[in-house]
Amino acid sequence: MAVDPNDVAALLDPNSDPVAEAVALVTQLAKAYTRGRGFDPQGVPTADVAAAITTAAARLAANGSQLGHSTGVGGQLTLDIRGGFAGWSAAELAALNRYRVRAR
């Protein structure tokens, strides 16, 4: 599968709704992390894997560039955006690691 530049643009464009793109990307990351375990044959994740995808996708969608930045709000206020999806959280890993195959 080739990388579509429009997918990248959707995450960076502050006027777009990057939620669908974030969900698709994080779902693929979860599927890779678990090597496909935790997903049914149609690609639907189990409830715990879906929860991990939901929380991680929310972080990615909130800050698609994943870079810290500041925005002036109302002349007197500054909105600082920090972080984003920088990896799985401990809670997400607890769910995903149930399905991950590890070397012995």
Return d(Cα 45, Cα 35) in angstroms, integer.
Answer: 12
pLDDT in tens, 36-61: 999 999 999 999 999 999 999 988 88
pLDDT exceeds 80 at position 72: no
Specify the pTM.
0.77
Confidence of residue 31 (pLDDT cuts 50, 70, 90): very high
> In terms of C-beta distances under 8 Å and separation of at least 24 residues, what long-range contacts does 76-81 make, across chains too?
none
